[in-house]
Structure 1
Amino acid sequence: MRKRRVELGLSQEEVANMADMARAVYSHIEVGRNKNPSIAQMESIAKALKVKPDINFFRDFCDEMEQTS
């Protein structure tokens, strides 16, 4: 998630605004403090990051969460 955000040249604040959530909420998801975001949150983030909210997006998120554990 962070990698894609950086590729797009976006700040956490910008992604959070596009995903209609508080920056702190987005940040907690991105860094792995919130390991159980809702599907709606993940879909909003995917849209903000201009990626399809498909199985690959969710798999990559899960892989990132395993690395932060």
Structure 2
Amino acid sequence: SQQTEQEVGQQLLQEMSPKVQEVLQELISTEGIGLLLQRGSVIHADAGYSITAKVTDKLNQAFTE
């Protein structure tokens, strides 16, 4: 059976480290993100849509505390 996009997204989150999951969930909530795509799944996106720097900053903060 084919998985829905939401199921695939949930599976990807589960495979990530718990800290990455936590940071992503926090950013999704605080930034009001309604759609989160993997870079490889996107044909084009303006740089302003990328949350990579925010995720990296939050992970760096978490691991230096």
TM-score, with normalisation over the residues of structure 2?
0.32
Greater RCO, 1 or 2 (C-alpha within 8 Å, sep 6+): 2
TM-score, with normalisation over the residues of structure 1?
0.31
